[in-house]
Structure 1
Amino acid sequence: MYKSYTVDEAQRKMEHYCAYQERCHDEVIQKLKTLNMIPQAIDAIVVHLIDNNFLNEERFACSFTRGKFRIKHWGKRRITNELKARNISKYNIDRALKEIPAEEYLETFHLIADKQWDIVKESNILKKKKKVMDYLLRKGYESNLVQEKIFSFC
């Protein structure tokens, strides 16, 4: 049927899982549940991973933030919401958002806004503004930034 793991086997498996890529506590707990581990074993393994620095929520939050901003060009609101969905503490979210330099954030925002403005083919200027605005808000940029940018177009 399904393979059962000893605590040591599961622990080694989770060490590899965490070493491969930064993970948050929720991901590790979910993975352990898929391995059919009992709650006491899950707690013991999570403590071991934290003690041996395989699992570090602050490091995860910072890495996640840098990646989503640099690769997917997400705004701070979307990053914050995604981290909250992973049960990351407010302290770690605030700490992670400091990883994004303000100048780089604004530069990226203006770059993707201008690019999206050029991409959207809409003759009605109001509809075009709405489409670009919706795109930027979906990306997670702050509404005041988005509105200022939209008003700057024609």
Structure 2
Amino acid sequence: MEKEDLEDVYERYYTEVYLYALSLCRNRTDAEDLTGESFLRALICLEKSGGSIKFWLMKVCRNLWLDRLRKERRLTSLLDEEIERLPDSQDLLGELVENERNRQLYDAVLRLPPGYREPVILFYYGGLPTRDVAKVLGITDTAVRTRLYRARMYLGKQLEKEDL
């Protein structure tokens, strides 16, 4: 892949991969590291195999995050509460999500259980089709659609409660 192609891919997909990484690790510094490493690894793999760049980037990002979690658990016996911690209110995501309603929705998405959160972020924020979301998560397309439906129902109830 030539330098111009590499720059184009980076500029085109950086924000989506970064937001996905941030939703996984909930830390700006870690998300930046994860995003950079995802681009490096995905592009090396793509040169060998071809295929959808966006799909590979999301898949590599998720796998790198899972590898980090496994490594942290082995080294520090990471607690489940630390994985589920909420992001800082002064986070970059707050700046990227412009109006208050979208901010409330994104905050509610981040509070979803991981089984619902990842498909929602990959599908709605990452723009991946359900079949690619299924490949990234290692589940069936039907399971992705079911999780998206249930996540929408859950989000609807949560937002309804907050508006009261």
TM-score in terms of structure 2 length: 0.28
Bigger radius of gyration, 1 or 2? Answer: 1
